[in-house]
Amino acid sequence: MKSIFVILVLSLFALSEARYFKIGYDQQPLPSNPNKAYASRIVNGEPADIAEFPHMLVLLDLTVGGFICGASIISRTWTLSAAHCLEFNVPANLINFRAGSTNRLSGGTVYIAASYHLHPQYNTRTLEFDVAVARTTEHMDGINITPVALPPICNTICCTVCENVAVTTSGWGRNEAGIFPANLMQLTKPIHEFNDCVRIWATFRIVITEDSFCKSAFDSRDTCNGDSGSPLVIGEGANRVQVGVVSFGAPVCGDNSRPSGNARIEHPAIRSWITNISGI
């Protein structure tokens, strides 16, 4: 089991050595693990435009004032995010999604959740099976509002999510200055070899399991607080496929100590569950 705690602020929360913090609102700490943190921001990323990432969503929790995580559009009525972003039993109508806007604070269209579901095997301490889906009350349609494709089930450790394949993450997590940018950022990095990821995390007494994959983090560029739940995609334009969901990382984002972790959508227990719940 991955002995990890997630921070919703990174929607990959940025954990301290002993605590994770919820993306967007550090005043509400999540369960902690001294060596693992929720993804909280994109550190040393590049500006992005929603036209390049029309599947991208801002996840808003109205009980804490708004932005907590990223999410993605996987159909006209279903979204995908990290389970640790939605594990607080918030009424569905207080979970909103902003679509079609580069700016997380304004623009686009805001949709209300009708219901949401956490993966039944999600473990809040280890962050295994860190995925959740939410259904919206209205169809998500409009300019720069488009679903992203998901991969088929993979019964091995590597189908689309293979070593050195480039994956692109987008999000509004904290940047290298420690602030949450108003406008969307992006980052492209190679997938880290799975067994080496397991080895590196083992030195911090963390067990990485096959429902996750890692992306390299050895050039001071990485996801962090506030990026939790954000999609990782391969390919370009209409051919893009979402292969991952931002989940966890080092307590200090971009410190090059270990690769960051993401839920692996093609894992049989994740991909089949998404289909069973959403029909996607």
Enumerate the active-site residues: 84, 130, 228
Contacts of 275 (CB under 8 A, 6+ apart): none
Whether the Cβ atoms of residue 36 and residue 5 lie closer than 8 Å to each other: yes
Contact 192, 163 (CB under 8 A): yes
For residues 268, 269, 270, 272, the Cα torsion angle rounded to the nearest 10 degrees is 70
Is residue 266 helix, strand or coil? coil
Q: What is the DSSP letter of 52?
A: T
With contact defined as beta carbons under 8 Å apart, do 54 and 146 qualify?
Answer: yes
